[in-house]
Amino acid sequence: MTDETIPEVAGAVPERLADRDDIIICEGVKKWFGDFQALRGISATIKEKEVVVVLGPSGSGKSTWIRCLNRLEVHQEGTIVVDGVELTNDTRNIEKIRSEVGMVFQQFNLFPHLTVIDNVTLAQLWVRKRPREEANEVAMALLDRVGIPEQAAKYPGQLSGGQQQRVAIARALAMDPKIMLFDEPTSALDPEMIKEVLDVMKELARSGMTMMVITHEMGFAREVADRIMFMEAGEIVEVGTPEHFFTNPTEDRTKLFLSQIL
Amino acid sequence: MAVSDVGGEFGSRAEAGLLALRAEPEPEITVSPFERPPERPPKGPWRWAKDNLFSSVFNTILTVVTAVVVVAVLRGLTAFIFAPERQWRSVGVNLRLYMTQAYPQEQYVRVWVVFGIMVALGGLSFAFWRAGGPMPVRRITGFVMGMAGFGALVVLVGPFVAVPTKLVWLAVAGAFFAAAAVVHSSEWSRRTEVSSMRVWFTVLVLLILAVWLVPFGHHSFVDGAVQPSEPGTVAMSTKVPLTVMAVVLVAAYWVGVALRDRVPANAVKGTLALAWLLSVPFNLFVILRDPDWDYGRVLSVWLPLFALFAIGGGVLCWFATNPSHAEGGRLLGGLILVAGGLSYLLTYLGLLPGMLQVVRLSILLLGVFVLGGPTFGGAARARRRYVAAWMLFIGLLYYFVAAINSPSTVRVNTELFLGGLSITILVAASTMIISFPIGVLLALGRTSKMPIFRVMCTTYIEIVRGVPLITILFFFSVMLDLFLPRGMSIAEIMAVTLGYSLFSAAYLAENVRGGLQAVRRGQYEASEALGMTAVQTSAFIVLPQALRAVIPALVGQMIAVFKETSLLAIVGVFDFLFIANKVVGTQSEFLGARRENLLFVSFVYWIFTFSMSRASLRLEKKLGVGER
């Protein structure tokens, strides 16, 4: 598939999002790991306050793409513009973008040597340069929002996986990001803990956050997503609203994927 | 710890929701099953021996052979120690030599002041870091029983005393054992715990009492000659300071305990850590020299220079730490760094003849501080702290430079007048403190993404590790002066310490690198995804984890550094071992007493290294809290 092929299907962008500003614009993004081409020309735009769920089999480049959006991975061709700033090798741009884009990882990646509250305040102190009192207030408010204010003084190792992931969400939210990226946030969790994390994410979506979520939770995708993007082999195969995507997919590969997963 | 805490999760929302879904919520478990294991009936000693020592034929043979070897070694050792021809007096007589070598006796108060400072800091630190903890009485009684048993064994196998004397000592050991056993088996000891700090302080008080009461004899070594031994307890000039030190330690501890709940603990801990760092150069100065200030020069040169850099630099740091000037701050820092480098270059070319070395150094340091401003600045309080740190730093720099450039009032015979255990500790402590930051920077450089840093650091590490320590010591003691700017020279002991630090830093860097590799990729990513800069990521996320992962290796290296100070003897430093081997060992009145002195020295080395390894174990446990 080539750069200019942007799969436009019925209901690709829901009407209520039509007059919103684009916050992420990707054009022909390509990336190689050695000889292996992980991204084969991704072109997509994401609107403000939109919730996009990215689906696809493993190895399809979902994580690579989302990690390119805050430059944890460097793309080699194409352009990515986030919040009006193009991602280049300029360190200042990268740091600016990263402080505007929150990220939640599959493996939580909490800082194990810091208490929960210190995990949430650290970047506020040193990146946002907030005074400690204010940072603590923000942190406690966020821990309250994700439902674990009583764990503030504990270390991440003393929490369950679901609690850790909620701390990770609070840590990202503490930077007041404009966009939140979720890289398989529930894949490392025991089944009974998935719900508590998804609940937090649903609440976040309702509050109007721009979100990009890689997940295998089809229920979540159906309920929360404004749009669903289906990726395979490093390219976006199909884009559409949840009802279109789940009830009436056009591409054969999408149908195959859905038949395997549902 | 982590396991028992999992039980406390029932408060969280989702768990509560799950519980509510069930028709009949299960009764909440109040006591986690992990907290109190079911008590097993205690095993008798015979049963224990059968299970552990004689469980199989092979095990039995092993036990018997080991026992024979242990008894033989013990017998040989005790025969050596207690043989009548041993001249243990040679150790007692030469204790002062061992401690300070030729340090002028009328200046001993300096050494005691330094010791007092460290003891006071130690007492406060024990209190604020909550050293020690509850110690079960049974552990103490068990220890006493073990020691009594060991003593009895020594008396039994030792070939050194007559049978009646043996019986008396056996009776003493038996009495101790019995007393401890009675307490040990009582219900009271099972339930009771005492503060371990109290136990240690009690031991300390007993030791001090022993100094006052037990007639160790009264030896002194004055002007190269041993004064005849007098009966009675040790000299007043030893007893009194030792007692004062003990009082200072205990008093500092209790002051710390009284204060620790009333003052912000983190601020005090930070201050204490800083005080420890500053105590090293300060102590060096108290011991080595007492500057005879030339007040004309202080007023005309040092104070104005200090004021210029402190105020001017403070303003620049204030500017650079303002978050809205981030780029300007970095640019300014870079410009100042370039100016500092240029000042060195121009001096080298002879174009800035009158410029003081310290001024050039200050410009470079100011550049580094301004460059770091945007990274560590922020809110008004952080900015004030940063400026204060700069002013403190530059103040210390000028104090020490001014002090070095003033004649000393401590009169000494030669340059290397300090020796013995003092110089060993001084060199070891300085080396540890200097090499640590250098080693960490080298490790970071070696793992850096920037090729120039990587190549430079790797080259440095590989070259230094490929050269024997002795070569480096020779190099720094003999040849360093050739490489210094004209007119500048540093004391040989400082040069050697510097060389030793640079050597140790290379090894330390490799240890730290191991720790850096143990930090998972996700930690970097999470930190970077939050917008933290590379420096912030290293300082707050990566290094704390990396260092904690390699504490055992680092402590192992610190122990090696401490022991290998004995190589300094090769460049003419009278270190602790050298005094035993070459000074005391050749005194005419103690000819042939070298073995006693070597044993004594090894025992002292062991006490130090053993304490270090125990402290590291405690540190590991403490820092491991909350981690899996």
With an 8 Å Cβ cutoff, are A113 and B627 in contact? yes
User: How is residue A174 written in tokens?
Assistant: 């503490």
Inspect the interface and report whether the beta carbons of B9 and A163 lie closer than 8 Å. yes
Instruction: State which H helix or E strand residue A81 sits in.
Output: strand A77-82
Min Cα distance B313 → chain A (Å) is 22
Check B522 against A126: CB less than 8 A apart.
no
Which residues does chain B have within 8 Å of residue A156's beta carbon, measured at their own beta carbons? 626
- To the nearest whole Å, the CA of B508 is away from the closest chain A CA by 22
Q: What pairing do the DSSP bridges indicate for beta strands B225-230 and B193-195?
A: unpaired
Instruction: Determine, for residues B9 and A95 on separate chains, whether the beta-carbon distance falls below 8 Å.
Output: no
- Among A95, A151, A159, select the one facing B531 at the smallest CB separation: A95
Task: Inform me whether the pLDDT recorded for A80 exceeds 80.
Answer: yes
Q: Give residue-wise pLDDT tens across range B60-74.
A: 999 999 999 988 888
The pLDDT-based confidence of B296 (bands split at 50, 70, 90) is confident
Give the rounded distance of the alpha carbon of A173 from its chain centre: 12
C-alpha–C-alpha distance, residues A120 and A140, integer Å? 9
Instruction: Let me know how long chain B is.
Output: 628
Question: Using 50, 70 and 90 to split pLDDT, how confident is the model at B6?
Answer: very low
Torsion sign (Cα): B184, B186, B190, B195: negative
CB contact under 8 A, B541 and A72: no
Do the Cβ atoms of B378 and A126 come within 8 Å?
A: yes
pLDDT of residue B156: 83
Q: For all residues of chain B together, what is the average pLDDT?
A: 81
Please compute the mean of the pLDDT values over residues B531-540 and round it to a whole number. 89
Higher pLDDT, B404 or B190: B190
In terms of pLDDT, which residue wins out, A2 or A46?
A46
**Residue B626 binned pLDDT confidence (cut-offs 50, 70, 90):** very low
Is residue B135 within 8 A of residue B199, CB to CB? The reply is yes
CB contact under 8 A, B541 and A111: yes
Task: Give the count of alpha carbons within 13 A of B242, CB side only.
Answer: 15
Collect all residues of chain A within an 8 Å Cβ-Cβ radius of residue B380: 131
In whole angstroms, what is the distance from residue B573 CA to residue B192 CA? 51
| Residue A5 structure tokens | 């092929």
Q: Which residue has the tokens 């710890």?
A: B1
Residue to substitute from B18, B21, B449, B530, interface A, most A β-carbons within 10 A: B530
In single-letter form, the type of residue at position B24 comes to: E
> CB distance B533–A95 less than 8 Å?
yes
Express the helix, strand and coil content of chain A in percent, nearest 5 each. Answer: 40, 25, 35
Task: Give percent of chain B above pLDDT 70.
Answer: 85
- Check CB contact under 8 Å for B545 and A126: no
C-beta atoms of A72 and B528 within 8 A: yes
* pLDDT exceeds cutoff 70 at B314: yes
With an 8 Å Cβ cutoff, the interface of chain B facing chain A consists of 1-2, 5-6, 9, 11-14, 18, 323, 327, 375-382, 520, 522-523, 525-533, 536, 540-541, 544-545, 548, 623, 625-628
Of A127, A147, A171, the CB nearest to B12: A147
- Among B392, B379, B365, B397, CA closest to B318: B379
pLDDT at res. B227 = 61
| Residue of A262, A261, A209 lying closest to A60 (CA atoms) | A261
Q: Model pTM? A: 0.78
Where b means 16+ CB within 10 Å and e means fewer, B154-171 reads bbebbebeeeeeeeebee
According to DSSP, the β-strands at A51-55 and A210-214 are parallel
State yes or no: pLDDT of B539 exceeds 80.
Answer: yes
CB of A235 closer than 8 Å to CB of A40: yes
Top pLDDT among A93 and B546 is at: B546
Cβ separation A172–B525 shorter than 8 A: no
- For residue B13, the distance in angstroms to the closest alpha carbon of chain A comes to 6
- The secondary structure of residue B421, as a DSSP letter, is H
Predicted ipTM beyond 0.85:
yes
Structure tokens at B36: 């109190």
Question: What is residue B218's predicted lDDT score, i.e. its pLDDT?
Answer: 61
Structure tokens given for A87: 């991602």
Q: Angle at the Cα of B467 (from B465 to B471), degrees rounded to 5?
A: 135
Contact B6 A158 (CB under 8 A): yes
Out of B1, B2, B528, closest to residue A98 by CB: B528
Q: Which residues of A touch B377 (CB under 8 A)?
A: 129
A180 DSSP β-pair partners: A102, A211
Chain B residues in contact with A157 by the CB 8 A cut-off are 2, 626-628
Q: Which of A123, A131, A195 is facing B530, going by the closest CB pair?
A: A123
Query: Residue A109's pLDDT band (boundaries 50, 70, 90)?
Result: very high
Q: Which amino acid is at A244?
A: H
Which of A130, A158, A168 has the CB atom closest to B379's CB atom?
A130
d(CA B562, CA B421): 11
Q: How many CA atoms lie within 13 A of B334 on its CB side?
A: 7
- How many other β-carbons are positioned within 10 Å of the β-carbon of residue B604? 16
Cα nearest neighbour of B627 on chain A: A157
Between CA B220 and CA B223 the distance in angstroms is 10
Split at pLDDT 50, 70, 90, the class of B512 is: very high
Would you call A150 and B2 a contact, using CB atoms and an 8 Å cutoff? no
Interchain contact, B548 vs A95, CB within 8 Å: no
Cβ distance of A193 and B14 shorter than 8 Å? yes
Whole-angstrom Cα Rg for chain B: 30
Chain A's closest residue to B330, CA to CA, is A92
Three-class SS state of B385 = helix
Average pLDDT over every residue of B372-376 = 81
Enumerate domains of chain B plus CATH numbers: 106-290 (no CATH), 291-407 (no CATH), 415-628 (1.10.3720.10)
Q: Residue A150 and residue A71: Cα distance in Å, rounded?
A: 34
Degrees (nearest 5) of the Cα angle B619, B621, B622? 65
Q: Output b/e per residue, B233-257; b: 16+ Cβ within 10 A.
A: bbbeebeebbeebbebbbebbeebb
Beta-carbon separation of B627 and A122 below 8 A: no
Do residue A113 and residue B323 have CB atoms under 8 angstroms apart? no
- Interface size, chain A vs chain B, as Cβ–Cβ contacts under 8 Å: 118
| Per-residue pLDDT band at B229 (split at 50, 70, 90) | low
Compute the nearest-CA separation of A104 from chain B (Å): 8
Chain A residue whose CA is closest to B623: A113
Report the alpha-carbon distance of residue B84 to residue B71 in Å, rounded: 21
The H or E element that residue B375 is part of is: helix B357-376
- Per CB-CB distance under 8 Å, the chain B contacts of A126 are 375-376, 378, 532, 536, 540
Which residues in chain B are closer than 8 Å to A102, comparing Cβ atoms? Answer: 529
**Alpha helix positions (H), B186-214:** 187-191, 196-213
Cβ atoms B155, B75 nearer than 8 A: no
Please state the rounded mean pLDDT for residues B520-535. Answer: 90
Nearest CB partner across the interface for A105, out of B18, B525, B544: B525
Arithmetic mean of pLDDT, B109-136: 85
Give the confidence band of A179 by pLDDT, cuts at 50, 70, 90. Answer: very high
Task: Using the predicted structure, report yes or no on whether residue A25 has a pLDDT greater than 80.
Answer: yes
CA distance A48 to A20: 6
In this model, does residue B469 exceed pLDDT 70?
yes
Q: Kindly indicate the confidence band of residue B223, based on its pLDDT and cuts at 50, 70 and 90.
A: low
